[in-house]
A = this chain, B = another copy of it.
């Protein structure tokens, strides 16, 4: 294909992608394709579902509530992503949207809101987080969209925690341990810990309370590290912690 694929729109789809099949797009995507992007039958796009790689697709029918397309050719093989969960206390609207977008770009495989004692109780719109993650993956040429799970209380989550998944716990207060350089600390862990699955846990504005910190410090698989001498907002800390993890333990190595 001589055509410049960089200019094609990219769509995340739920259905399988394979040759000699047809893909049906739901109403919202049909609207986007028809009315926002003004595509016509015969036009091409790219599609991915997180499993079957990326495909060049060609639109067959484009209607108001439904569009269909045929996968033409696989343009990229599926790669395996990071096994990195991001757990974070819910934030207000623009900042939780941002968190979902940025976490997707940074390679998180799962996003889960956790309700801590200092979390300003607020309903979390899981669908909205999911939509933000999908949009980031579509725009940033990614082959994956992280799963988004329902909020859970931190204490419940920790009481059922699978011991092999390590937790990078961004702790602003490390009174007994003094200064701990986070990159050197992670690099110095035992090999089986370094290669284990990981989660990053970002606290609420105002931090974890004393009981929560105690619970976390008591877990063998939790690794409290400070992120430098400055206080960061939670959405900044999430990106910074993921960059730290990716550069020491993840796929930036």
Contact = CB atoms under 8 A, between A and B. Distances in A.
A141 B231 contact: yes
A183 B140 contact: no
A198 to B, nearest CB: 15
A232 interface: yes
Given A106-B240, A239-B243, A244-B247, A233 B183 contact: no
B244 A229 contact: no
Given A105-B236, A228-B246, A253 B141 contact: no
A109 to B, nearest CB: 12
A135 B70 CA distance: 50
A140 B230 contact: yes
* Copies of the chain in the assembly: 2
A139 B136 CA distance: 28
Contacts of A226: 252
Interface string A211-234: 000000000000000111111110
A184 to B, nearest CB: 7
A239 B233 CA distance: 12
A135 to B, nearest CB: 11
Contact of A252 (B79, B136, B181, B252): B181
B105 A232 contact: yes
Contacts of A253: 181, 183-184
Interface in A91-125: 94, 98, 101-102, 105-107
A107 B230 contact: yes
Contacts of A53: none
Interface in A161-186: 181-184
A53 to B, nearest CB: 15
Nearest to A103: B236
A20 interface: no
Given A102-B236, A105-B233, A105-B236, 14 more contacts: A101-B233, A102-B239, A105-B230, A105-B231, A136-B233, A142-B231, A181-B247, A181-B253, A226-B252, A236-B239, A239-B243, A241-B243, A244-B247, A244-B252
20 contacts: A79-B229, A94-B94, A101-B236, A105-B231, A105-B232, A105-B233, A107-B230, A136-B233, A140-B231, A181-B247, A182-B252, A227-B243, A228-B252, A239-B243, A240-B240, A240-B242, A243-B243, A244-B247, A247-B247, A247-B248
The 4 closest A-B pairs by CB, nearest first: A243-B243, A240-B243, A228-B252, A183-B247
